[in-house]
Amino acid sequence: MRISHKIASGRATLAAEVSGSGSPVVFLHAAVCDSRMWRAQLDAAAASHLAIAYDRRGFGQTVAETEDHSAVGDLLSVIDTVAPGAPAILVACSQGGRVALDAALLHPARIRHLVLISPSVSGAPDPVLSPEIQALMAAQKTAEDAGDLDRVNALKAHLWLDGPLQPEGRVSGPARELFLDMNGIALRASPAGANIDTVTAFRRLGEITAPALVICGEADFSHIHARSRDMAAAMPNASFHSLHGAAHLPSLERPADIARLLMAYLAGT
């Protein structure tokens, strides 16, 4: 049974869902989703662990005033409220991966393991994009300038759910509907304020000694796939898994596959 929590952190009230018991596993969502992207994996992890998923500022049901804040500080507030004193396993996708990596560098004793899916990383160089992807990005910018948030949402679904070089609408049904709902909330949210964590983790990956699994879909952006592989090679206790046919958000697109990968990894911890 999932239990809802409202957790204070600065001038934010973070919305969290908690299920199961045991060692904590905390799920960190992407910047185009909220904690609902982890529904299948949260339920799977709760069979053997204390599974925790929360909405960061500007997403889902979290309520926050605009203020500069530490995303890592918010994460620790969640852990300290739900599982005080226990080191956590972090399962993170995209921008959530950036928060997880920053936390592993700032508070290594608090983080037991990392499972990173298509992770962002602070301090990474800007990518070189193909003309096809540049055209999609330009269309998104035009829609943003026009205030056409529904069009922005549709373009982001193409880029991040389908994959930037895949046919639009490749992923359909409930997964697409959930994406559009989650990202629609994020697009219309009030500004959350700046994240004050300045870790530049890209240059410090070799310092992260926590065991890690890095996963990336082959249909994701090519620079994210290459960077994910390189990150796994740079971290001393990490391995890499390439997911055939999946794009940036495999927990939505292939929920059962990601749940199986996660449970196999947790069994080894």
pLDDT higher than threshold 90 for residue 1: no
Q: How confident is the model at residue 134 (pLDDT cuts 50, 70, 90)?
A: very high
Q: How confident is the model at residue 218 (pLDDT cuts 50, 70, 90)?
A: very high
Exposure string for 224-244, b = 16+ CB within 10 A, e = fewer: bbebbebbbebbeebebeebe
Q: Which residues contact 131 (CB under 8 A, 6 or more apart)?
A: none
pLDDT higher than threshold 90 for residue 196: yes
Tell me what the pLDDT averaged over the chain comes to: 97
In tens, the pLDDT along 89-113 reads 999 999 999 999 999 999 999 999 9
In tens, the pLDDT along 242-263 reads 999 999 999 999 999 999 999 9
Sequence letter at residue 221: F
Average pLDDT over residues 158-169: 98
Domains detected in the chain: 3-126+191-267 (3.40.50.1820), 131-185 (no CATH)
Task: Name the residue among 61, 28, 54, 12 with its Cα closest to residue 192.
Answer: 12
In tens, the pLDDT along 38-91 reads 999 999 999 999 999 999 999 999 999 999 999 999 999 999 999 998 999 999
Give the integer Cα–Cα distance in Å for 152 and 217.
Answer: 23
pLDDT score recorded for residue 5: 97
Q: Is 139 exposed, middle or buried (0-12, 13-18, 19+ CB in 10 A)?
A: middle
